[in-house]
Structure 1
Amino acid sequence: MTTWFTRRRPPVELPRLAARAPKAPAVRVDLHDVMPDLLPYLGQAAYLQLEQFQTLSAVAGEAEGLKATEGVAAAAGLALSKHQGIVAEIRRRGDDPTEAMRPFAVAIEGFRATLVGSDWRETLLAALMTGGLLDDFFIRLAGGLPGDIGPRVSQLLGSDSGQEALLEILREEIGADPR
């Protein structure tokens, strides 16, 4: 009986994983290498904010209920403030904001036209998502801007855009009508 406890089990060969290949070195893209010229960057950022203002203003006109209208209108005002801040940067350089934005008008207007939903709620959701993504993208690119313009534009684009209020409006709308 004692042999059961002292007897060793035969060794079991377990499958072993092959050693991993060494990691390939990651290629980092320096945004300074892909940074557009300053004036086109500012013109495109300014026009995107202007288009965001126009989209949110249209949604505010269609929104149902005073709370929703007020929240969307406030976000539209914040987008307009960002636009005006970027326009001020363009003017500080001695350039014409209209001329800086003109090359991007057709493309940005076409992009925004594809985001119009079947009702104001869908359009609001599209404006909220794309506005946030584009603000983040332009904030990252601002790191490559020359001088002190980068931090100013980054701070301007990173300022409050009313997203929390817009999210709350969408939550209430979904809660009221899950369709």
Structure 2
Amino acid sequence: MSLEKSPVYNVKAIPVEKIQANDYNPNVVAPPEMKLLELSIWEDGFTMPCVCYYDKDMDTYILVDGFHRYQVLKNSKRIYQRENGLLPVVVIDKEISNRMASTIRHNRARGTHNIELMCNIIAELDHAGMTDEWIMKNVGMDRDEVLRLKQISGLADLFANNNFSIPDNKVEYISEE
């Protein structure tokens, strides 16, 4: 099936009371990441609409993707007030099996963070003078994560100009001196 036009060109502001979660989403977000999502929506606003199916008989929007953004709107008083209880939504018109497949595709397509790039970001923030507390709050990490990433990037910097060889399954350090 080919779309005539992507749904994102028709974002609607829907009262959160007219939206309901689906009963098949396997995605779970841990409390620290939920706090980070709330902070992200507070600081940046909703930057991506939720995806829903509109049930005409029930006059209800059923979530396909965006459950956790929906939860933040429902549970964060400051965001609910700022957004006037409205959630940005795009509508897809698919049967239940295709909506389930869409949910899984949306979940799985988000990917994971590359450790090397995360180390680089933490190092850049550190070099820019951001405190560990600032990084923890704004990037959603705990103190141990920040410390580990700083240690990893610090070790990488320490050995950046050295060569290593691996003969016979043994790591051998070759000094440039």
Q: TM-score interval w.r.t. the shorter chain? A: under 0.3
Higher relative contact order (CA 8 A, sep 6+): 1
Question: Where is the strand percentage greater, Structure 1 or Structure 2?
Answer: 2
TM-score by length of 1: 0.25
Structure with greater Cα Rg:
1
Question: Where is the helix percentage greater, Structure 1 or Structure 2?
Answer: 1
